[in-house]
Structure 1
Amino acid sequence: MRPPTGQQLTIATTVDGVRLRATVTELAAGLRELVLGDVDLVEPFREDARPAKGQGIVLAPWGGRVRDGRWTLDGETQQLAITEPALGNASHGLLRYSPYRVLEHDDASVLLQATIHPQPGFPFLLDTFVRYVVDESGLTVTHEAVNAGPTRAPWACGAHPYLAVGATPADALTLTVPAASAIVADERLLPVRTVAVDAADAPAGADLRAGRRLSELDLDTALVGVEHVDGIATSTLLDDAGRGVRLWQDEAFAFAVVFTPRDFPSVDGVRQAVAVEPMSAPPDALNSGEGLVWLEPGETWTGRWGVAPVDLV
């Protein structure tokens, strides 16, 4: 029987003599697993399963939600399909359920491609590419978009990895994210205003700069002002001995979303998990314009992020 996420593309290398393996799926160019030895660095899902709660998928050509699926282009209202009916939003872009083509695949890297064709609510032609590479530093993911159409086109991008330190439970993990501001959202998870993470009206637990115990957090929050040092912003999920995983994102990804569901269906049963999602734009960027990139015909956008082990070997 074929896996519901299509081809399973494995790449591997060694880190200080320990095997690092990633499996990427044809569907949504998703990251199904990233394992160092026998330690999961992201929450995996089984080959015969579908990704839960956006697990590992690529988000393009927008990352979060579009209010009512509507936005305006040159004075004309555009109507996207409502893909989050419970909240009335167009959510997580147009490629979540799309297969990618495999352009290259060798022992340590894989390059996938998908085209976004003109359609209701998004009348543009974009070629998108995702390259996964493993080496001694960990996993690097490179996203690229090329405007293949005749008019300028809007673009935003994100990814949805759930970080893990093997089976270490939430009450033994500390999450750190270097973001100075957070978006206060309404009941539909759409932006209301941006505030400092330590403001009185900030979402509870949004200040992750000094680290917070994962089990204390109930977040589905977009963070703004992610601090980049020498072009890189670094978030970490560590156990009490300082071992764990770090997620880095380059300056093309100026935002992040932190999602800490307590009902995450892991391969070992329901438990709390944490997604740290690099984003190039915040929710509802097609309406606000914040973080949105407009690509001219033939123009290319590139962004990178990655996952690396911390003191696990």
Structure 2
Amino acid sequence: MSIEPVPLQDSSAAHAAGEPTRTHVLAAGDLLAVFEPMRGMVCVSLKHRGEEILSRVASNPAASFDEVVSGIALRYPFANRVRNGRYAFDGRCVQLDPASSWLSTDVNGTPSDGVRPSRLDWRVVEASDRRLRARISWTRDELLQVFPFPHDVELSATLDGLGLTIAVAVLANAEARVPVSFGLNPRLTLPGLPREKWRLSMPAMAGIVLDEQLLPVGERTPLPPYDGRLADLDFDHGFALPTTGATMSLEGNGRRISIDFADHFPYAWIEASSAVDSVTLAPMTAAPDALRSHEDLPVVVAGERFTATCRIRVESTSNSLH
């Protein structure tokens, strides 16, 4: 049975007659989330008590949608970097073209974070005021050049009064096995409080030792838990989490934002520059560069399904302006 798209609610006053709907709003309790299904199913806004807690950072005012580090985006089919843009799996060798308009790259020109979100043609299959679900078929030639494993991907977002749950499923509904290496990148901010006063909480983890191109060298360093002021700390680093269900959080000015690594997100990438008032606590299904190294690389066999889930919880606290 085929699934037909469900019409979306449109929150854009500039929406032109006859054009496909571009935004969908979820609302529950003190939370409101805005998704853009036609531009990569990116969550472009998450507000708590009317204040924005997602950051969108552009390198210049004329930056395109894909150049803006936006809210919560799915990084697919790989999160983070692929060394030399080359990987192999099940006898298929792939050389990624960093000049491709379909790929994201880092400042060194290394393919990073997969296909640009706006290139992913999501089809909405369920929409309500608290839930949004969309699917994409990985069958276009341009997508198969990047990741030559036909399959479907389904992303669902469910909002309740305490948080936003995002689940991403890989459906191996063709003949091929499908390696899994995607991630999400929640870029968080605490409005009304200077960054140096934000409180960051992280569990004990293993730091992934990186080279100058921020690619793993094959070593890890045990790190104790951290619970303290962000101050002038800078991060751009990968971590292996100790157990399923780990949590990281930011707290300050009367709220706590927590990322629960609920199911099948055993790795994290943390990005926090002292020059920017935001922190990215990014769940990852596999280690950085796992498509090439195959380290802890999940694989979905034909006919099976893999689902990874994370939850962004938002709570009011008694602490204010400190």
Assess if the C-alpha contact under 8 Å between 1:94 and 1:116 holds in 2.
no
Task: State the one-letter code of the partner of 1:115.
Answer: S
Q: 2: CA distance between counterparts of 1:85 and 1:166? A: 28
Match of 1:157 in 2: 182
Assess if the C-alpha contact under 8 Å between 2:135 and 2:152 holds in 1.
yes
Q: 1: CA distance between counterparts of 2:92 and 2:183? A: 26
Q: 2: CA distance between counterparts of 1:73 and 1:256? A: 23
Match of 2:283 among 278, 283, 287: 278
Change (3 A) 1:45 1:32: farther
Match of 1:306 in 2: 311
**How many residues matched?**
287
Q: 2: CA distance between counterparts of 1:90 and 1:126? A: 22
Match of 1:102 in 2: 124
Match of 1:297 among 302, 306, 316: 302
Equivalences for residues 157-236 of structure 1 within 5 A: 157-198=182-223, 209-224=225-240, 226-228=241-243, 231-236=244-249
Match of 2:65 among 50, 58, 62: 50
Q: Which runs of 5+ in 2 are unaligned?
A: 1-13, 99-103
Equivalences for residues 68-87 of structure 1 within 5 A: 68-82=84-98, 83-84=104-105, 86-87=107-108
Match of 2:11 in 1: none
Assess if the C-alpha contact under 8 Å between 1:257 and 1:276 holds in 2.
yes
Assess if the C-alpha contact under 8 Å between 2:153 and 2:171 holds in 1.
yes
- Give every structure 1 segment of 4 or more consecutive aligned residues whose post-TM-superposition deviation is greater than 4 Å: none
Q: 1: CA distance between counterparts of 2:238 and 2:70? A: 15
Q: Which runs of 5+ in 1 are unaligned?
A: 199-206, 264-270
Task: State the one-letter code of the partner of 2:304.
Answer: E
Match of 1:267 in 2: none
Match of 1:61 among 77, 87, 91: 77
Match of 2:261 in 1: 249
Task: State the one-letter code of the partner of 1:248.
Answer: D
Task: State the one-letter code of the partner of 1:257.
Answer: W
Task: State the one-letter code of the partner of 1:68.
Answer: N
Match of 1:10 in 2: 25
Assess if the C-alpha contact under 8 Å between 2:286 and 2:297 holds in 1.
yes
Match of 1:25 in 2: 36
Cα RMSD, aligned residues only: 2.6
Render the CA deviation track for 1:225-284: whole Å, top value 9, x for unaligned: x133xx42111101276x321111113000010001344xxxxxxx33110001111211
Structure 1 residue 294: deviation in Å?
A: 1.4
Match of 1:204 in 2: none
Structure 1 residue 115: deviation in Å?
A: 2.0
- The more displaced of 53-62 and 158-167 is 53-62
Match of 1:112 in 2: 134
- The more displaced of 178-187 and 115-124 is 115-124
Percentage of pairs with the same residue: 25
- The more displaced of 62-71 and 148-157 is 148-157
Assess if the C-alpha contact under 8 Å between 2:233 and 2:273 holds in 1.
no
Change (3 A) 1:45 1:37: farther
SS in 2 for 1:92: strand
Tell me the TM-score normalized by structure 1. 0.83
Structure 1 residue 64: deviation in Å?
A: 1.3
Q: 1: CA distance between counterparts of 2:42 and 2:211? A: 29
Q: 2: CA distance between counterparts of 1:136 and 1:78? A: 44
Structure 1 residue 194: deviation in Å?
A: 3.0
Render the CA deviation track for 1:157-215: whole Å, top value 9, x for unaligned: 210111222232211101112142111211211111332244xxxxxxxx5x2224223
1:93 and 2:114 are equivalent in the alignment: yes
